[in-house]
Amino acid sequence: MTAKIIIQLAALLGALSVGIGAFAAHGLRKSLEAAGRFETFETAVRYQFFHTLALLGIGLLLLMRPELKSLGTVAWLWLGGILVFSGSLYVLCLTGITKLGAVTPIGGVLFIAGWIMLLLAARQL
């Protein structure tokens, strides 16, 4: 994944994070609270936004150090983490399908793997 694509992806995911968070806070709050899922939804948005900011940092670092190709792997892992972790929590909260909770930890593992890959890439700095 190139620096340009990572930065564009971070921009898109950042906009989505704000939009999804605002929609939950203003449009879905009552139904999410009634289902006992508001905090879960907030967790999904928080993890998405934190890793979106981290993706932006990866993209900028890759601009400065294009030889660190493993940063592309970090980006893929974090994107996968956002899709699986946050995505499964969004679907769980909106549909009530609790079986999706079993998928969520896979997204967490992808996040962790991305951080470990960043650690390994940083050894080349």
**Residue 121 confidence (pLDDT) above 90:** yes
Q: How many residues does the chain have?
A: 125
d(CA 18, CA 24): 10
pLDDT tens per residue across span 31-83: 999 999 999 999 999 999 999 999 999 999 999 999 999 999 999 999 999 99
Sequence spans of domains, the chain: 3-123
Confidence band of 105 (pLDDT split at 50, 70, 90): very high
Count CA atoms within 13 Å of residue 71 on its CB side. Answer: 26
Reading the block at residue 117, the tokens are 């890959």
Mean pLDDT in residue range 107-115: 98
Specify the pTM. 0.93
